[in-house]
A and B are shown apart, each in its own frame.
Chain A
């Protein structure tokens, strides 16, 4: 019982470590600012925001500067996220958490380029961020 518990906490620690390492890997062109969804009220007033409403990213074609952080904010009850397929921002792909109404998720773009994304359960929802 005890050793099983131990094994589990080691596993959990390992998992966390891998995730953290993954986030900091050199080949990642972005860093995830908020791993989980946060309340939209936590979005800084001067942040770059892409609102999501009516099954659309309201600014599907966004241009920012290297180092900028982009917040996505879901304005409707239908959950949405942002997903970058393998090779876009990193090797393994990046699948953001599902955002409920008035939740936000942020990514900081560290390199110039064009990064296409979509919503996981709604692949017809597409957007891109051009980083200059």
Chain B
């Protein structure tokens, strides 16, 4: 503000230089800084989305027009557009690299609208109302060694600025390939729960509203957290039951177990789908049998298991496989499952097909050929959902119309090994 007058020309010159850098960056990669301005530019230039002109070409045309009109470049930090149900987050655990990235993408036009950095195997969460997104992360004082710090970071959904940084005492995070439901938000988005594996199963309670760590809850030998209320969540236990955990500000949590709902030789995958709003837990096995639990009442009601694959398909080695193998669309009550023909023990390799199943009847709605090696899927939760298919191998997010299965667009260069797709259920 109080720059001496004689410095101004120099200052402006360097800004100009910066502006040029920004423009070329914007053309190349579409950063958060670009989105708002370019959206406006696209509108003023009469460019509609998906008309075949690339975002880079549109950006170049707008920049050329601005230059011709003598419009000054005014570099500034952009805000991402307001979150909507088509916003999609792609987290890249980067094959266990010490630091990682998350890409925030507008699924509607396949544009990267921002990024966030994370440490080692962070767990991302996104509030269903879109208000915030957050992650539980881990850093070390010397890249991958030295003193370890676990913390929770909360981001503003438009500026992407961290609005809270909460340290977790005694490095309690479970360091594991990213399982979305190992860190969860309560339905009111005020509390974040994270899992501790070692030295004893426990769940950490983080008060996002008060921006402070709460405490660790001792829990039985159970995994994942599916919150159903501000003070209640369910877990899946080694013995094949679910545990209901109700906790207060202090004291031992109240823990009750359901019946054992699956036999010991039926393996439930690490990436079940859970709709907090519907209270629906959708849990496939290695064979494509799907257990569903209705948690909407605050108690577990087991639904009749369904088979996502037909008997004939199963006899021809069709099995689910990938990372996030299952997605659930709340509005249509449909289940999406990644499948392919594979050996029984190649359950983590990519799949090229998605079967869509009516969650109520178990009836097959469609079988979509994805056209790519897809490791993770998810859907947007709006009325005409997008189906997201993420390829870890090519670091590309493919975006499909969920109804027709047609690929609409894709976003590439999403880090080194992107694996986790998160969306907000804003409806």
Does A120 sit at the interface, judged by CB under 8 A? yes
CB distance from A111 to the nearest CB of B (A): 22
Does B238 sit at the interface, judged by CB under 8 A? yes
Main secondary structure of the interface of B (DSSP, over half): loop
In the assembly, what is the distance between CA of A123 and CA of B198, in Å?
6
Does B200 sit at the interface, judged by CB under 8 A? yes
Q: Which residues of A contact B238 (CB under 8 A)?
A: 124
In the assembly, what is the distance between CA of A52 and CA of B72, in Å?
75
Does A85 sit at the interface, judged by CB under 8 A? yes
- Does the CB pair A83–B199 fall under 8 Å? yes
- Does the CB pair B221–A120 fall under 8 Å? no
Does A118 sit at the interface, judged by CB under 8 A? yes
- Does the CB pair B199–A118 fall under 8 Å? yes
- Does the CB pair A124–B201 fall under 8 Å? yes
Q: Which residues 71-127 in A have Cβ within 8 Å of B in the complex?
A: 83, 85, 118, 120, 123-124
In the assembly, what is the distance between CA of A123 and CA of B223, in Å?
12
Q: Which residues of A contact B221 (CB under 8 A)?
A: 123-124
Main secondary structure of the interface of A (DSSP, over half): loop
Q: Which residues of B contact A85 (CB under 8 A)?
A: 199-200
Q: Mark B193-233, 1 if CB is under 8 A from A, else 0.
A: 00001111100000000000000000001000000000000
In the assembly, what is the distance between CA of A124 and CA of B219, in Å?
11
Q: Which residues of A contact B200 (CB under 8 A)?
A: 85, 118, 123
Q: Which residues of B contact A123 (CB under 8 A)?
A: 197-201, 221
In the assembly, what is the distance between CA of A88 and CA of B197, in Å?
19
In the assembly, what is the distance between CA of A110 and CA of B63, in Å?
79
In the assembly, what is the distance between CA of A106 and CA of B223, in Å?
32
CB distance from B112 to the nearest CB of A (A): 39
In the assembly, what is the distance between CA of A118 and CA of B200, in Å?
8
Closest A residue, CB atoms, query B221: A124
In the assembly, what is the distance between CA of A85 and CA of B218, in Å?
15
Closest B residue, CB atoms, query A117: B199
Give the interface centre of A83, A85, A124 by most chain B CB atoms within 10 Å: A124
Listed A/B pairs (10) with beta-carbon separation below 8 Å:
A85-B199, A85-B200, A118-B199, A120-B198, A120-B199, A123-B198, A123-B221, A124-B201, A124-B221, A124-B238
Taking beta carbons and an 8 Å cutoff, which residues of B are in contact with A? Answer: 197-201, 221, 238
Beyond A118-B199, A123-B199: 8 further Cβ-contacts under 8 Å? A85-B199, A85-B200, A120-B199, A123-B198, A123-B201, A123-B221, A124-B221, A124-B238
Ranked nearest first, the 9 interchain pairs of A and B with the lowest CB-CB distance are A124-B221, A85-B199, A123-B200, A123-B198, A123-B199, A124-B238, A118-B199, A123-B201, A123-B197
